[in-house]
Structure 1
Amino acid sequence: MKNVGKRSILYIVNFYGSPPLNYFEKYLNENKSTYLTIIKLPAVRPSKNRINIDAFIKDEKGNKHNIDLNLFFPLPNFLVFMVQYVLNFFILFILLSKIKRKKFNIIIGETNFGGANAYILKKIGRCDFSIYFNGDILPDTQSSNKCFFLPNNESFFSPFFKFIDSMLIMTQYLLRKMGYGNDLIWFGDKKIEEWDSKKGLEAHNKIIFHGILIDYKEYEKYNSVKKNMNDICYLGRIDDYVGFDILIPSLALIKKILPGIRMHVIGGSVVGIEKYRNLAKQNNVEDNIKFYGYVPKMEDAYNIMSHCALGLALYKPVKDNVSMYTNPGKPKEYIKVGLPVLLTKGGPEIGQEIAKYNAGVEVDFDKEKVTDAIIKIISDNNIYVKLQSGVKRYALKEDINIHFKEFFKNLEKLLIKH
């Protein structure tokens, strides 16, 4: 690919509006250096008796074609997962048929499924160069008796569901291996490369670049929003691995000191929300917690969070928590909207980095310690002002305009060699 003129890129994701694509798109649009097309495939998530199809393609001129369906599907969750993956493959080609461009210079696939699709599209001649963005690891099926993809419930059928869950994980391994057939592997973190290497997956060409950054201009916008000191928030999947087993009981303790405390929870599946809504009722805090579920537009999520005072990122420090091996984006999403972060000691390395800048606080994964930390942060104005200063310093350090220039400079070198 010797031509270094204005290139065409297809970027395939399951979640639109979140890193790294949101910053990738913003940087390219501001520099007007690329014809960018984006495909957003449906997020595969369990939902009772329904299959949700929310997909679109946005071409290089900004024209958008949507596929939005909510189908009645009265079968078990594991079948919903399987059917959605198959449907997503066909939806990909339906969306591609909606635009004029039939071949791209570069295709980038995010997640294992996206990486596998990028490889397939390269093989059938739909691009010159393909990239797999590898931003996560996979669970070890032997490390826990719990299900990772399917809901956990204690019943006679639990071993069967664990078996199905293990098969879903093995499918992810196969997709991941296919992704390694791409021309370049873009690792979101050095740890991910090391983990894959232990599994026998080696990249012929690679770039290690976090991609989960902060647009300082957006930080300034959201930071100017007045914070409600009684409101705390959480963004992302909801399960015990992100601390919900201690967060909700902790909320009950905080309520005794701060009756007006309110937690905003953005994300999570219908099944997961039902589980923790019941836990909230058991702890008498159902009126102090609001579950928004899946929020399609990240701007809406940012607007909700920007009115809060604190972001929660309580990763459970255990071996079978896949977030321990990655560079999670959640803490930086909080900082982007001007919030200090409460993190777990012994969690992902980003916690130590944020604490070093005093943009957040690390705490033991313990109900009482979490309770004390939250009360202290949102009640003591001196502490909060100092944390806000740290948030600003960290946002400046992670500004996209500094880091993406270096990323594209390195990518350009690889493309010229190709």
Structure 2
Amino acid sequence: MDKLAIIDQMQLSKNSSVLILSHFAKRAEAGGGPPQDIRDYLIPKVNKLYYIEHPFLYSDDHRSSLTIYEDGMVKNLMFTPQIFGPGITIYIIQIIITWYFLLLTKTKFDLCVALDNLNTFTVLPLRKFGLIKKLVFYTIDYMPKRFENKTLNNIYHLIDRIACYHSDNIWILSERMIKARKQNNVDIKRSAPSILLPMGANLSEIKILPGKKIHRHDIVYVGYLTEKQGVQLVLKSLPKIISKIPDLKFIIIGQGEYEQKLRELSNNLNINDHVIFKGFVDNHKQVNNILCKSAIGVAPYPPILNNYTFYTDPGKPKLYLGCGLPVVITDLPAIAHVIQSAHAGLIVDYTVNSIAEALVTLLSDDRLYNMFRKNAIELSKQYDTNSLISEAFGKIN
């Protein structure tokens, strides 16, 4: 079934009006994550698309925005001033901003895709009064203990339950989210139906290089730099790896609050000549090009209690696969076992010795590496972003 037929199944036509609500860490014109993927998928398929995005508290751009697309082109773009303040105050202001933007549009929406429970909660009155025909609550992360503050955590999960009960459908990245919600007092029978929409890679934008043209001893990480991403473990393993692979390079793409500590660790380990900090790369095609030239992608998630990666479906392993990279990954997300079973990567313990051994094996054994690379490319075909989105649209009630 082609994609347009699936769009027709849920009674969306070229003349439909669609609203997308999201939060962002980094504002991205193309690519960048689930909200941008949904936006880019729908732009050529509907005449009118309204895209509202608000900054997370840690974003370096504190403006909310409304972008209106007509016939695939940007018709209007509006920004609020930079807004600062306490977290709760900011989120209340963002609710007001959403309502302000929606009043300006004077539009009834055939579909609204709201990413996260707060955005979904914000537009529930519009669904109640018929201004939104279908409401999809898109859950891209979920943790039973979202906040250390018990009161804030209870409020967060109350909003989540309300969003679950009053949406038409829920898109989830992982089946683990359903189990976690059930354990967190969400009545699954009362909740809207959940539809699995895992992370993927936009394969049409990736040009895999022949094996002879890659940098055989380059390993790469892409993503936000926090302690929970485990990049520090790779840095600590480099001295062992370099002793056997002297021309090794470790490329780190991304930025975050943990970046300075990673730079200090690299300096203290005296491995700066082998580590390249690229920072945030806003051109997604450039990110793909860097990955495609590399040999191995790393996803060393620490086994930290309440790590959101356990409940979600991280995007970086899928992106690595799509670029032809075998993946070295810890046993935290469910995708790790899929990758290892397909012989497209290796699961490692969260220890220096384990990750060093796995990386040295793949970096030095050409026959094994070529087999894993071939399997990674084949496995990635199951995770093409546009195909996954198309399938999810086809399942909306």
Indicate whether the TM-score tops 0.5.
yes
Letter in 1 for 2:223: G
Give the one of 229, 239, 251 matched to 2:226.
Answer: 239
Q: 1:357 to 1:171 in 2, by over 3 A?
A: same
Tell me the CA shift for residue 386 of structure 1.
0.7
Tell me the CA shift for residue 26 of structure 1.
4.8
Q: 1:300 to 1:314 in 2, by over 3 A?
A: same
- 1:343–1:360 CA contact under 8 A, matched in 2: yes
Structure 2 residue 31 is matched with structure 1 residue 57: no
Tell me the CA shift for residue 196 of structure 1.
0.6
* Residue deviations 1:128-149 (CA, integer Å, cap 9, x gap): 22111113222527xxxxxx7x
Structure 2 residue 145 is matched with structure 1 residue 133: no
Structure 2 residue 335 is matched with structure 1 residue 350: yes
Q: 1:66 to 1:368 in 2, by over 3 A?
A: farther
Tell me the CA shift for residue 347 of structure 1.
1.8
Structure 2 residue 358 is matched with structure 1 residue 373: yes
Structure 2 residue 113 is matched with structure 1 residue 108: yes
Tell me the CA shift for residue 55 of structure 1.
4.4
Structure 2 residue 216 is matched with structure 1 residue 207: no
* Residue deviations 1:180-237 (CA, integer Å, cap 9, x gap): 2323222222210111112122353213222423444334x24469422232221223
Letter in 2 for 1:230: H
Aligned position for 1:159: none
Structure 1, unpaired ranges of 5+: 74-78, 142-147, 149-161
1:205-354 correspondence to structure 2 within 5 Å: 205-219=192-206, 221-223=207-209, 226-269=213-256, 271-344=257-330, 346-354=331-339
Q: How many residues are paired up?
A: 377
The answer to which of 174-183 and 104-113 deviates more is 174-183
- 1:218–1:337 CA contact under 8 A, matched in 2: no
Tell me the CA shift for residue 358 of structure 1.
1.6
- 1:19–1:213 CA contact under 8 A, matched in 2: no
SS where residue 355 of structure 2 aligns? Answer: helix
Distance 2:366 2:272 in 1: 28
Q: 1:381 to 1:118 in 2, by over 3 A?
A: farther
- 2:195–2:395 CA contact under 8 A, matched in 1: no
The answer to which of 280-289 and 383-392 deviates more is 280-289
Structure 2, unpaired ranges of 5+: 1-8
- 2:226–2:259 CA contact under 8 A, matched in 1: no
Structure 2 residue 63 is matched with structure 1 residue 67: no
Identity of aligned residues (%): 24
Structure 2 residue 22 is matched with structure 1 residue 13: yes
Distance 1:302 1:66 in 2: 30
Distance 2:10 2:192 in 1: 17
- 1:186–1:209 CA contact under 8 A, matched in 2: yes
Aligned position for 1:172: 156
Tell me the CA shift for residue 22 of structure 1.
4.7
Tell me the CA shift for residue 324 of structure 1.
1.3
Q: 1:310 to 1:91 in 2, by over 3 A?
A: farther
Aligned position for 1:38: 51
The answer to which of 252-261 and 353-362 deviates more is 252-261
Distance 1:43 1:303 in 2: 28
1:84-99 correspondence to structure 2 within 5 Å: 84-93=90-99, 95-96=101-102
Q: 1:341 to 1:212 in 2, by over 3 A?
A: same
When normalised by structure 1's length, the TM-score is 0.77
